[in-house]
Amino acid sequence: MDKSSFLMVERGNPYERGDVIPLTKPITVLGRKGQNFAPDISFDNIFVSRRHAALLYRNGQFFIKDLNSKHGTFVNLQRLAPHDEIPLQHGDTIVLAGDLIVLSFSILSMDETMDMTPLIKQLAAIEAAGGLRLNPFKQELSYGGKVYAFSDKEYKCLEVLVNHQGQFVPKEELKIYVWPERCYETDTVPDVSSEELNALIYRVRKKTRDLLNIESIRGKGYILQKHADGASMIQKT
């Protein structure tokens, strides 16, 4: 299956939050445009060097290299030494010039990229509204500086409930979304036991109990509600 590598912008003019920058070259230079030079990916910030950093593709993997930038290149909060390079992993956070430019490196299949595109744009609206932020790439939920990490199935479960906030979500809908690998025929409900589903809901509740309330409705499904104090403000676009 073909893979698509790209950067997702979290902060960095002239891009908007949630913009996706495909990585299609063996060498991609990040920097600031000058009269006689234009990097492959250009940011409008005086603290970004003309040739700040480069993404290098070798032997099926991307690396990032600092090009002796003045204000530094950081990967997961660790600053690279000048001209140093390290391999990139899916979900790594790249920061240029302190925290003025923030990017996320992602590797997804082409199908996954298509599926994620609406969610990428949704991140910006949710964050701007001061609400919870779902990150589909890192499978995280963040609010007020606190980050909650989830397994693949925990995140899928939470995603369905968040996207239907205040609405009844049948158990069957959760099973179909969370366990698609068990759907052997079209329009069938996966063979998932009540114990498996209950255990999954328990884990999600335990991780989000200070923000969210997941109510069981007559054993038929669930409703996710924000707490009465408004701490878990979720907004949909």
Per-residue pLDDT of the chain (237 residues; tens, 9 = 90+): 235 788 989 888 898 888 889 898 899 999 999 888 899 999 998 899 999 999 999 988 999 999 999 999 999 989 999 999 999 998 899 999 877 899 999 886 545 544 555 555 555 544 433 466 777 777 888 777 788 999 989 998 998 888 787 889 999 989 988 988 887 666 678 889 999 999 999 999 999 998 889 999 988 999 988 765 544 444 332
- Amino acid 128: pLDDT: 39
d(CA 173, CA 228): 26
pTM beyond 0.85, yes or no: no
Burial class (CB in 10 A: 0-12, 13-18, 19+), 228: exposed
Backbone torsions φ then ψ of 86, nearest 5 degrees: -140, 155
- Which domains can be identified in the chain, with CATH numbers? 3-110 (2.60.200.20), 129-226 (1.10.10.10)
